Amino acid sequence: MAGALIGEAALGEVVGEAFSLLFETVKDVANKARLFEPTLKRLQFTLDSLTPIFQDIIRLNRELEHREEETKKLIDQMKKGEKLVRKCLKIQWWNYCMKPHYAGKLLELDEEISSFFQFDLQALTARNVLETLVGVNDIRKHMNLSVKNSRLSCAVPLPPDYIVGLDVSIKELKVQLLKKEVPVLVLTAAGGCGKTTLVKMLCQDEEIKGTYKDNIFFVPVSKTPNLKVIIQRLFSHWGEQKVEFQSDEDAINQLEQLLKQIEDPKLLILDDVWSESHIEKFEFCLPNYKILVTSRTAFPGFSFTYNMKPLNDKDARTLFHHSANLQDRNSSIPDKDINKILKFCGGFPLAIKVIGRSLCGQPVEVWRSKAVKWSTDHSILGSNSDLLNCLGKSLDFLDDELIIKKCFMDLGSFPEGQRIHVTTLIDMWIELYELDEDGIHAIANLYEISARNLASLFVKRKDASDFANYYSEDYVTQHDLLRELAIHQSSQGPIEQRKRLFINIGENNLPKWWMDQKQQSLSANLLSISTDAMFSSSWCNIQPPEVEVLVLNFQTKNYQLPKFVEKMDKLKVLIVTNYGFLPAEVSNFQILGSLPYLKRIRLERLSIPFLCKIPMQMSSLKKISLFMCSIGQAFRNFTVQVSDALPNLTDINIDYCKDLVEFPDGLCDIAHLKKLSITNCHKLSALPEAIGMLVNLEMLRLRSCTDLSELPESIRSLQNLRILDISDCLSISKLPKHIGELRNLEELHMKGCLRLSRQLPESIMELKQLKLVICDEERARLWEPIKDFLTNLKVVVATKDISLNWLPNRYF
C-alpha cells in the first residue's frame, strides 16, 4: 500500500519530467539541425501550445492520485520522441537520403501527441467525470451520514465571525501549548469569558495547524460525560462507525491503541471539563500527544494552567459598540451611560454581547434608564436570562459540594471592589456551617472557590513547613459581575424566606419592604447591611431573630449599631467595617451585652475609646479581632474586670493598630486565653511581666512589631505554649534566658529578626518538643550547633517576601 501511494504521488513528477525533457530537446535541436528545422518548429509549436494542459495534468494527477497506466502511453511517446530528436541532430546536412525518413518520424510524433489530446485524453476525461460523479455521490452519502451523526464529529468548530481582544491570549496560549514539557494544559476562566472561542481561534493559527495538521480532535465533555460516547466519537472521526466497547476501561484501552497508530503530533481538546478524573482517563504516555482542557476550574493536580482574563477596557468597548451597533461615531448615546454599562459587564465577552444586543436600536432614554437602574439595587442579571443562565452554570455543584456554593454566595455580603480578609470569612463559616475551629475546612472551601474562578484568593507567600495557620494577610477579591451573581442567587423568593439578606442603603433610602409596617419576621441566617457616606444612622425596626452572622459596612465618621441587633438572640458573629478614609467612632456597643450566643466580633478601622468601660458581660464571646483600629484608650482605666466581662474569651487578634504602645495589663487576667496575636503594631515597645499569667496560652504571635525590643522573662511561665512567632521583630536582640522552660513549644518563627545575632541561650537545649524553626539564613547559622542535640528539629530558611498587599485598594 505504501509503495502504491508513493507511485501515485510521484506520477506528476514522471509526466512533467518526460514532457520537459522532450520540450527542451526540441527547442535545442531546432536551432542546430537545419535539415529538420521546419518540422521541429512545428513540433515545438505543438508542445508550446500544450504546456498549460501538461501543467494541469501534473497537478491533477498529484491531487487525484490517478494511476500511472492512464498516461503511460503519452509518457512512452515523449521518451521515444526525445531520442528521435537527438538522432536528428546527428544527421549531417549533406545526407539528404535520411531526411525523408526522420522527417516522417517527427511528423508522426507530432500527430501522436496531438491525437492523444484529441481522443485519448477526452476518453479519460469522460471516465474521470463518471468517477467524479460516483465520488460526489459517495461524499453526499457521507455528508448525510455526518449530518445524522453530527454528535460524533470531532472537528474543531469554527470561531464566531467577530472577535476582539484575543490576540495576546492566543500567542500566550500557543507558547504554552508548544512547550515540550507540557503534556496537559488547562485553560481556565469563569463562565462567559470566551474559553471555547479562544481554543477555536487557536486552532486556526497557521503554526498550530502546521504542527498538528489533521490530528486535532475536539470533544465536549460537560458535567456528566459518557466515556464510551466520547471515545466512539473519536473512532468515528477516523471512519470507524461500528466499534463496540465492553466497558469504559475497554474503550480507553482501544483509544490508546488507536492513537499509537498515529505517528504525527496529535492534540486532544477536552472542552468544558468539570473534574480532574475526566482528564486523567485520557492521559497516555505517547510521543507527540497533548491534551488541551477548557474548564471553569483550575485543577491543582495539573501543573500547567493558563488563566484567561476578561477583556480590557479598550477591547470591551470595541465589542460593545459592535454588539450594540454603535460603530457610527455620531451616536447620540452619552459616553457616561456607555461607561456605566461597561462597568457592569466587567470585561466578560458574553455579558458585553448580551447586554449590547439587548440595547441595540433602543432610544437614549432606555439606555439612560438601564444605566441608572443597574447602578442602584437592580440586578443586571435579572433582566438578561441568557447571561444569568450562562453564569449560573458556574454554580452547578455536586451534592457533596453544595457548601462551596453557599460559601460563594456569602461573598455578596461585602461591598464591590473591596478586599475581603480571609480571617473574616473563616469566622463566618466556622459558625454558619459548624466547621473546625482552626479554619482548615474554611480555607479549603476558599481554594475551591478560587479554583472555579468564582473569586481570586491571594495568599501571602508561606514556607511549605509553616504549620501556624497564619491567614491575617491573606485576602479575597471578586469580580463585580460574579458578586452580582452571588447576590442574585441569594435573592430568590420572598424577603422573609431568604437565608441571606443583602441590603444596600443609599443616603437614607431604606428598601420599601423595610418601611412596611406589616413586614413579617425574617428567617435569614446571614444579614449584610451596607450604607454610604450620606447615611444618618436612622434605623427602622426589623425582626431578624434567626440571624447568626451580621455584617455591617459603612462609610460615615460616626456610626451607631442598630438597636434591632439586641433582638438577634441567635447572633454568633458580628463584623463591623468602616470603608471610609479615617477611623470612625461606633456607639451603642452596650446592646451586645444582651446577646447570649455572640462568639466572634471583628472590627475594622474603628476608633474604640471605651470598649471595657461599658458595664456589660459577653459570656459567650470567644474571639475578638481588631484591624487598623485606634485602641490606645480602649483597654485603659477599666471600670469592669476584663476576665469578668469576657469570661470565655480564648482568642485576641490585634492587627495594624498603630497607636498600641503597651499591651494592657488588664488583658493578662483572661485566664482562658489560648491565642494572642499582635501583628504589625509598630509602636508596641514592650509586653508586661503579667503576660506570664496567661498560663493557658497556646499561641503567641508578635509578628512585625518592629519596636518590640525584648520578650519578658515571665514568658517562661507559658507552659502550654506551642507556637511562638516573633518574625520581623527588628528590635529584638536576644531570646529570654529561660526560654527552655517552654516545655511544649513546637514551632518558633523568627525570620527577619535582624538584631538577633548573639548566641542562643543555653536553655534552648531543653526544648525537646521543638520540631520547626523558620528563620532567615543568618539566624539559621545560630541553630547549626543546636540541631545535634535536638534531633527532631527542622530548621527552614524562609524566602524573603516584601509585600504591601494588606493595604486597602484606595491606598494604591
Domain of residue 445, CATH code: 1.10.10
- What is the residue whose three cell numbers read 443597574? 374
Q: Which of 425, 428, 416 is nearest to 450 (CA)?
A: 425
| Co-location of 278 and 358 in the same domain | no
| Co-location of 117 and 177 in the same domain | no
Q: How far is CA 104 from CA 40, 116, 472, in A?
A: 11, 18, 104
H helix or E strand, kind and range, residue 484: helix 480-490
Beta-bridge partner residues of 202: none
Burial of 602 (0-12, 13-18, 19+ CB in 10 A): buried
Q: Is residue 26 classed as helix, strand or coil in its secondary structure?
A: helix
Read off φ and ψ for residue 285, nearest 5 degrees: -85, 80
| Co-location of 417 and 382 in the same domain | no
Residue 323 near residue 345 (C-beta atoms within 8 A) = no
| Co-location of 188 and 85 in the same domain | no
Radius of gyration of the chain (CA): 40
Q: Is residue 372 classed as helix, strand or coil in its secondary structure?
A: helix
Does the pLDDT of residue 670 top 80, yes or no?
A: yes
How is residue 128 annotated by DSSP? H
| Co-location of 110 and 124 in the same domain | yes
Burial code of 357-373, b = ≥16 C-beta within 10 A, e = fewer?
ebbeeeeeeebeebbee
H helix or E strand, kind and range, residue 124: helix 121-148
Q: How far is CA 465 from CA 143, 749, 772, in A?
A: 60, 11, 8
Question: Which grid coordinates are listed for 732?
Answer: 529584638
Complete DSSP assignment for 755-800:
T--SPPPGGGGG-TT--EEEE-HHHHHHHTTTTTT-TT-EEEEPPP
Question: Which grid coordinates are listed for 281?
Answer: 482517563
| Co-location of 172 and 292 in the same domain | yes
> Which of 307, 326, 354 is the C-terminal boundary of a domain?
307
Q: What pLDDT, on a 0 to 100 scale, did the predictor assign at position 3?
A: 32
Give tens-digit pLDDT for 49-66: 666 666 666 555 555 454
In a domain, residue 156? The reply is no
Residue 679 near residue 472 (C-beta atoms within 8 A) = yes
- Quickly state the pLDDT bin for 365 (edges 50, 70, 90): confident
| Co-location of 7 and 138 in the same domain | yes
- Quickly state the pLDDT bin for 11 (edges 50, 70, 90): very low
Least confident of 117-126, 585-594, 604-613: 117-126
Question: Which grid coordinates are listed for 346?
Answer: 466587567
What is d(CA 214, CA 197) in angstroms, rounded to the nearest whole number? 20
In a domain, residue 215? The reply is yes
Residue 408 near residue 449 (C-beta atoms within 8 A) = yes
Q: What average pLDDT score do residues 220-247 get?
A: 80
Note down the domain range covering 465: 397-481
Strands 216-222 and 184-188: unpaired
Give tens-digit pLDDT for 676-731: 999 999 999 999 999 999 999 999 999 999 999 999 999 999 999 999 999 999 99
In a domain, residue 331? The reply is yes
Give tens-digit pLDDT for 442-499: 988 998 888 776 788 888 755 544 545 788 888 998 876 778 788 888 888 888 899 9
In a domain, residue 573? The reply is no
pTM recorded for the entire structure: 0.62
What is d(CA 192, CA 651) in angstroms, rounded to the nearest whole number? 42
In a domain, residue 214? The reply is yes
| Co-location of 16 and 81 in the same domain | yes
Say how many domains are in the chain: 4
Q: What pLDDT, on a 0 to 100 scale, did the predictor assign at position 4?
A: 33
In a domain, residue 693? The reply is no
In a domain, residue 176? The reply is yes
In a domain, residue 690? The reply is no
Torsion on CA atoms 505, 508, 511, 517, rounded to nearest 10: 140
What is d(CA 455, CA 410) in angstroms, rounded to the nearest whole number? 12
Residue 583 near residue 608 (C-beta atoms within 8 A) = no
How is residue 303 annotated by DSSP? S
| Co-location of 292 and 226 in the same domain | yes
| Co-location of 134 and 182 in the same domain | no
Q: What is the mean pLDDT of the chain?
A: 79
Give tens-digit pLDDT for 310-353: 889 899 888 888 888 886 655 677 788 888 888 777 788 877 87
What is d(CA 184, CA 182) in angstroms, rounded to the nearest whole number? 6
| Co-location of 130 and 235 in the same domain | no
- Measured between its terminal Cα atoms, the distance across the chain in Å is 70
Give tens-digit pLDDT for 179-197: 989 999 999 987 778 888 9
- Quickly state the pLDDT bin for 518 (edges 50, 70, 90): low
| Co-location of 41 and 98 in the same domain | yes
User: How large a percentage of the chain has pLDDT more than 90?
Assistant: 32
Give tens-digit pLDDT for 610-646: 655 566 778 899 999 999 998 876 666 666 677 778 8
> Which of 460, 481, 502 is the C-terminal boundary of a domain?
481
Does the pLDDT of residue 768 top 50, yes or no?
A: yes
Q: Is residue 686 classed as helix, strand or coil in its secondary structure?
A: strand
Domain at 234, CATH number:
3.40.50.300
> Which of 147, 175, 195 is the C-terminal boundary of a domain?
147
Beta-bridge partner residues of 504: 530
